[in-house]
């Protein structure tokens, strides 16, 4: 078998950032470079795979058991977040990590356990970091590598009995469009798992309800020497809009089940300003209230500065999968047992984010989320312990074996 570390490093070397402003599917053509690679690798392993017009790779590992076994799917996304540079990635391999600070050689910054105490859990392991100039892409190429490693194991170990296994790789998860055109019926799984969580043991069957909000402020630019009573500075009005949202409901002040408003971009001049938010809450009622409040603030701005000053466009992205997964709780129990067999204590928790599995669950495919091993996603301080990806792949094999053993 190809070494897992070599597979992972090969995948992260491909720039696959998605683009929220693009209207194409997938949002960036460069994602297809990795998707084509994955399709070809699956075919080379003797697994029937196809890449469709929307950028979805779907593959079937045929059953090698006579038992009637549910068809189980494993899904990961190939795109990386647009929040930090994602090309020309130069990973650092830290073998036998000593528990101390790690220099990121591209910038001189450090990964510091005083800031990220969870690093000390991985003392003695092999850590893969960025060089500080880009993100790493463990979200979710660690999940991709774990799935592909499990597929290769099945193909090379015919004594490992399993039912029909479905494999899916998707684009555009990071911009909330990962499965908008995913054909669940064509995929053909009875149940599935996204391999898109963080540290070892994470198991998530509830997530945020999510929406995006794009705000446009139309100002009025007048020569500042003659501006009294005439100028409407869009930058100042945009600041006023943001200041009206509750400070305590920003991501840096929330945890657990608490939701938030998160401003993620701003571009403005005196004449006009555009900025955007993501809105999140586990509680559907509170989620709806947050969306309404965005419009309330927009209405206030228009009442104060004139109709047409502020335009707010709010769009739902995904919903809490909990209500869809609860009737099929045995798939969560399988994952818990699979982790126990791998020597892992499952941590069932709400994900303070979302996965393709949330939308898939509402599309009729119950789909909890399992760890892939990475930490500090979406930024230059991202890292992943190699042993965590190995454990994720082991959990996949254990889940498959548990369904076959029934």
Residue environment code for 115-149, b if the CB has 16+ CB neighbours within 10 A, otherwise e: eeeebeebeeebbbbbbbbbbbbbbbbbbbbbbbb
Report the alpha-carbon distance of residue 296 to residue 41 in Å, rounded: 51
In a 13 Å sphere around the CA of 38, the CA atoms on its Cβ side amount to 35
In 10 A of CB 36, how many CB atoms?
13
Active site residue 79: yes
Active site residue 173: yes
Of 15, 41, 140, 173, the catalytic one is: 173
Question: What six digits make up the tokens of 191?
Answer: 């149940």
Among candidate residues 282, 313, 316, the one with its CA nearest the CA of residue 298: 313
**Cβ within 8 Å of residue 40, ≥6 positions away:** none
In 10 A of CB 398, how many CB atoms?
20
Positive/negative CA dihedral, 58, 63, 68, 72:
negative
Among candidate residues 168, 135, 170, the one with its CA nearest the CA of residue 151: 168
Of 15, 41, 79, 172, the catalytic one is: 79
Report, as residue numbers or ranges, the catalytic residues.
Answer: 79, 173
């Amino acid at each position: 078998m190809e070494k897992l570390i070599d597979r992972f490093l090969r995948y992260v070397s491909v720039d696959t950032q998605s683009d929220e402003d693009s209207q194409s599917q997938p949002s960036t053509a460069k994602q297809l470079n990795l998707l084509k690679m994955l399709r070809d690798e699956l075919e080379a392993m003797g697994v029937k795979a196809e890449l469709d017009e929307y950028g979805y790779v779907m593959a079937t590992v045929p059953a090698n058991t006579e038992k009637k076994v549910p068809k189980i799917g494993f899904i990961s996304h190939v795109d990386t977040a647009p929040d930090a540079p994602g090309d020309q990635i130069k990973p650092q391999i830290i073998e036998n990590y000593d528990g101390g600070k790690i220099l990121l050689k591209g910038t001189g910054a450090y990964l510091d356990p005083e800031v990220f105490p969870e690093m000390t859990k991985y003392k003695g392991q092999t850590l893969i970091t960025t060089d500080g100039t880009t993100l790493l892409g463990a979200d979710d190429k660690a999940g991709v590598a774990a799935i592909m490693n499990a597929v290769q194991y099945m193909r090379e170990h015919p004594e490992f009995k399993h039912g029909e296994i479905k494999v899916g790789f998707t684009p555009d998860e990071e911009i909330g469009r990962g499965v908008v055109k995913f054909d669940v019926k064509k995929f053909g799984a009875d149940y599935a798992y996204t391999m898109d969580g963080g540290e070892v043991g994470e198991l998530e069957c509830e997530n945020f309800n999510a929406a995006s909000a794009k705000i446009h402020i139309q100002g009025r630019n007048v020569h500042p020497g003659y501006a009294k009573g005439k100028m409407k500075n869009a930058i100042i009005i945009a600041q006023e809009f943001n200041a009206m949202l509750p400070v305590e409901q920003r991501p840096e002040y929330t945890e657990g089940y608490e939701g938030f408003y998160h401003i993620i971009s701003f571009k403005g001049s005196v004449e006009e300003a555009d900025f955007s938010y993501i809105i999140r809450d586990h509680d559907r009622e509170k989620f709806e209230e947050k969306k309404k409040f965005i419009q309330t603030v927009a209405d206030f701005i228009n009442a104060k500065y004139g109709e047409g000053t502020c335009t707010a466009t709010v769009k739902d992205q995904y919903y809490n999968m909990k209500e869809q997964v609860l009737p099929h709780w045995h798939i969560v129990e399988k994952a818990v047992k699979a982790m126990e067999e791998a020597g892992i204590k499952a941590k069932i928790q709400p994900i303070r984010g979302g996965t393709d599995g949330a939308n898939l669950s509402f599309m009729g495919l119950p789909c909890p989320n399992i760890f892939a091993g990475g930490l500090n996603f979406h930024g230059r301080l991202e890292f992943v312990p190699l042993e965590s990806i190995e454990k994720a792949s082991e959990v996949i094999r254990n889940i498959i074996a548990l369904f076959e053993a029934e």
